[in-house]
A and B are shown apart, each in its own frame.
Chain A
């Protein structure tokens, strides 16, 4: 099963909220993947094992895997586009 990571400053509150929501959305779209909330400071350690990175902070660095805008899942604005990007990344 492919893994998606979600990261915010604390690795608890916001990232877990987004992770729970994305898990549900993927399930509804019949996409099988594990969504994990991680600490922002440890994101680099997950790059090899993850298929996509949902970022809740502004991303300045380049990453080897697709980066999805996590704010969209909190505000609902642009959520469909970001979800589609994520599903494409998981194919």
Chain B
């Protein structure tokens, strides 16, 4: 154990941009990659880490002074920098135990399939980082790596169950058969479901919109460079910068938000061969059985309602961030809140007005939980050097996927300090999840029965 500890310390000392590539090279060789391809993957991963580190440093350099100036002009203190999901993914992958999450997820998925507790094969190996993210908070709170993996295992099981339940509705909404979404973001549906059940009673919301025409008009506001420029200028105005300073901040903010996805692509490129090897293994293992394939959310991106809800949520988030008691995060890179929009889209079945109301109800949860996660993400970033922060600087995300689940499953351990609130939140989430799950399964059965009747009457 002592030796292992020393090795881990030595690797950590080199920083994430070196030790994570070493791990992926070893992992690549284990799944049968050629040596030169494995090394290429590893170096690409190092580039991704270093690139993100540069970019996050650039973002902090422009946003921190603006946040301080805004504090002076408005008296509102929002010291936590919002790095969005790309920053959270970078920090998560730098966790020394991160890569152990791959075998854990595969083993649990295989077992669940073999004992027929799921029909879903989770092919989304990228979002393994979502499990790592929750695990990091558990490890931060309990100091126990075993508990961190236990909670991650629970998350993996819930993701498969949620994916099973959503398959029918996702097929109806997206028109794509045989796939579902295994992303943690769909967990927020458990919180939105009771609210939506209430809203459904009012026929007021049942209006049809031409979402496509609307999105063609305002869709540009969901593009990273545009929203970045607007936010930068807005911060500059509130901070009482001069006109030239405002415009410079606008362009700098646009640069940060435009480049985040560009750099994040290198993570995907590096992880793709491992992901493919796992898919090939699963397809071979379950040959002859039709599995539902669990994917990341972007295949739903063809639905215009999601983009409209995302754009609608931007000003709502900004307003809440200024006035919501307990919020300490200044929304920036997480402002394109896909997790809230996708969850609302799936819960309402694409009813735009109810999605808007649910987004308003949901935003505070994202801000509070973004605030709650800042210490753990900052601590790990400092430990692994994935992100360089000055003393006292805090980093988090205003759009954490499945925020309530992530918070409750990790902070529940605060019960040891007499804090029962996360436990109550967890119970509420589970109740919501069970209700939502049953409703989705019922709908799937009804749709199946209907199809059967149609088939019989057609004969």
Contacts and interface: CB of A to CB of B under 8 A. Distances in A.
Contact of B123 (A37, A56, A59, A74): A74
A16 B301 contact: no
Given A8-B299, A9-B306, A12-B265, A21 B223 contact: no
B126 A13 contact: yes
Nearest to B275: A17
A20 B261 contact: no
B103 to A, nearest CB: 20
A74 B295 contact: yes
Contacts of B301: 8-10, 40, 56-57
Nearest to B310: A9
Contacts of A14: 295-296, 298-299
Interface stretch (B1-9, B61-69, B171-179, B200-208): B171-179
B404 interface: no
A13 B146 CA distance: 29
A40 B302 contact: yes
A20 to B, nearest CB: 4
Interface string B116-158: 0000000100110000000000000000000000000000000
Interface residues of B, number: 38
B268 A12 contact: yes
A81 interface: no
| Chain B CB within 10 Å, residue with most, of A16, A40, A59, A75 | A75
Nearest to A56: B299
B223 A59 contact: no
B293 interface: yes
Interface string B88-103: 0000000000000000
B272 A16 contact: yes
A59 B302 contact: yes
B338 A75 contact: no
Contact of A9 (B264, B265, B297): B297
Contacts of A9: 297-302, 306, 338
A11 interface: yes
Contacts of A15: 298
A47 interface: no
Given A16-B265, A21-B276, A58 B298 contact: no
A41 B219 contact: yes
Contacts of A75: 123, 178-179, 293
A75 B292 CA distance: 9
Contacts of B175: 58
Contacts of B264: 12-13
Interface of A: 8-17, 20-21, 24, 37, 39-42, 56-60, 71, 74-77
15 contacts: A9-B297, A9-B298, A9-B299, A9-B300, A12-B268, A13-B264, A13-B296, A14-B298, A15-B298, A17-B272, A21-B276, A42-B223, A56-B298, A57-B301, A76-B283
4 tightest Cβ-Cβ pairs between the two chains A and B: A9-B301, A57-B302, A8-B298, A9-B298
